[in-house]
């Protein structure tokens, strides 16, 4: 299943060249993942239970610039699930078009906050992530 997050580009997102600064895209992707965590994993309850999601790798491709006033549509799904890590796939489009602005893969682990160690992705964790896989 693909989840969609909408972001409007504001002036503080822009760099000296008048387009969205590359580091802002990481914040946009994080916003999309927080929306998913709140919808599927009942945050902050997960934190209260002693678990957290930790990003361990990000790969991003910048395809086209986005500018002031643009509305961006971030499409997110789970690309793959391993034993202790999983990867989100993000695609950012100019809303209402097929113009791809950026795409990214973000790998994360679920950490036991008390130990700082990644846990195995099994049971309910895997079932919820499976819902987000685009099979």
Q: Is 15 a catalytic residue?
A: yes
Query: HEC states along the chain?
Result: CCEEEEEECCHHHECCCCEECHHHHHHHHHHHHHHHHHHHHCCCHHHHCCEEEEEEEEEEEECCCCECCCEEEEEEEEEEECCCCEEEEEEEEECCCCCEEEEEEEEEEEEECCCCEECCCCHHHHHHHHHCECC
Catalytic one of 15, 70, 103, 130? 15
Which are the catalytic amino acids? 15
């Amino acid at each position: 299943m693909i989840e969609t997050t909408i972001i409007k580009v504001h002036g503080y997102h822009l760099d000296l060249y008048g387009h969205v600064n590359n580091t802002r895209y990481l914040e946009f992707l994080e916003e999309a993942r927080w929306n998913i965590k709140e919808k599927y994993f009942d945050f902050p309850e997960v934190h209260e239970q002693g678990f957290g999601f930790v990003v361990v790798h990000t790969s991003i491709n910048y395809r086209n610039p986005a500018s002031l006033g643009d509305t961006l549509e971030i499409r997110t799904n789970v690309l793959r699930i391993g034993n202790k890590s999983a990867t989100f796939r993000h695609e950012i489009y100019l809303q209402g078009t097929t113009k791809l602005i950026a795409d990214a893969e973000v790998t994360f682990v679920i950490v036991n906050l008390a130990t700082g160690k990644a846990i195995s992705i099994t049971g309910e964790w895997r079932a919820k992530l499976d819902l987000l896989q685009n099979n």
